[in-house]
Amino acid sequence: MAIEVNGKTYETDEEGYLTDISEWNEDVAKLLAEQENVNMSEQHWEVINFLREYYNEFQIAPAVRVLTKAIGKKLGPEKGNSQYLYELFPYGPGKQACKIAGLPKPTGCI
C-alpha cells in the first residue's frame, strides 16, 4: 500500500502505518489523520510531537501513562488522562496517534 502527498509516494503497511518512519513530515501526518477522520488541532499536534520526541529517544512509543502525564503537564492537569486522549483519538490514543505520528504500531496485549 502507499499514499501520495505533494506528488511524492510514501509506502505504508497493510494497516496504513508508514513503512519508513524517517520519511514522515507534517503533510503526511495531515493525510494520515484525514484517513482516520481525525481533525488535527493544536492539542492533537502536542500529542503527535511528544510521541515523536519520545520515540527518537527510546525507539518505542511511550506508555499510555507516560503520555497522559506529559500531556497533563503541557495542556493542564484536567487533560492529563486517557479519557481526554480518547476524545482526541477515538480509535485509541496508542495506535491511532502512533499511526499519525508515523511510528510503528505498538504490538502485544494492548
Partner 1 sequence: MAAPEFAVPELKEFRAIPALQPGVMAHSKPNVANEKINEAIGFPGELVENWQEKAIDKMGDLLSKYRSLKVYLDSCVHCGACTDKCHYFLGTGDPKNMPVARQDLLRNVYRRYFTPAGKLFPKLVGATDLTREVLDDWYKYFYQCSECRRCSVFCPYGIDTAEITMAGRAIMDSVGLGQKYANEILGKVIRIGNNLGLPGPALEDTLQGLEEDVKEETGLDVRFPVDVKGAEVLLITPSADFFAEPHIDSLIGYAKVFHAAGISWTLSSKASEAGNFGLFNGSYEMMRKVALRIREAALELGSKRIVVGECGHAWRVAYSYWNTLTGVGAGGDDPFARQLQSQLDLRYKQPMHICEFTWDLIQRDALKFDKDANDHRIVTFHDSCNVARASRMGDTPGGQFEIPRNIIRAVANKYFEMPHGSTHEQTFCCGGGGGVLTDELTEIRVKGALPRMDALNHVVQANGVNFMATICAICKAQFTKVLPYYKFNRGMVGGVHQLVSTAIRLGDK
Count the Cβ atoms, other than its own, within 10 Å of residue 12. Answer: 18
Confirm or reject binding of residue 1 to partner 1 (CB under 8 A): no
Stretch that binds partner 1, among 1-9, 21-29, 41-49, 79-87 (CB under 8 A): 79-87
Rounded to the nearest whole angstrom, what is the least distance from the CB of residue 76 to partner 1 in the complex? 17
Q: Residue 9 forms beta bridges with which residues?
A: 4
98 classed as catalytic:
no
Which of 6, 7, 109, 110 does the annotation list as catalytic?
A: 109
Confirm or reject binding of residue 59 to partner 1 (CB under 8 A): yes
Residue 8 or 91: which CB sits closer to partner 1? Answer: 91
Rounded to the nearest whole angstrom, what is the least distance from the CB of residue 35 to partner 1 in the complex? 8
- Give me the torsion for CA of 80, 86, 92, 98, rounded to 10°: -60
b/e code 16-49 from CB counts within 10 Å (16+ = b): ebbeeeeebeeebbeebbeebebebeebbebbbe
Confirm or reject binding of residue 39 to partner 1 (CB under 8 A): no
Q: What type of residue is 74?
A: K
CA separation for the pair 29, 80 (Å, rounded): 23
- Catalytic site positions: 109
Please report, as ranges, the residues that interact with partner 1 according to CB under 8 A: 14-16, 35-37, 58-60, 62-66, 69, 82-83, 86, 91-92, 94-96, 99, 106-110
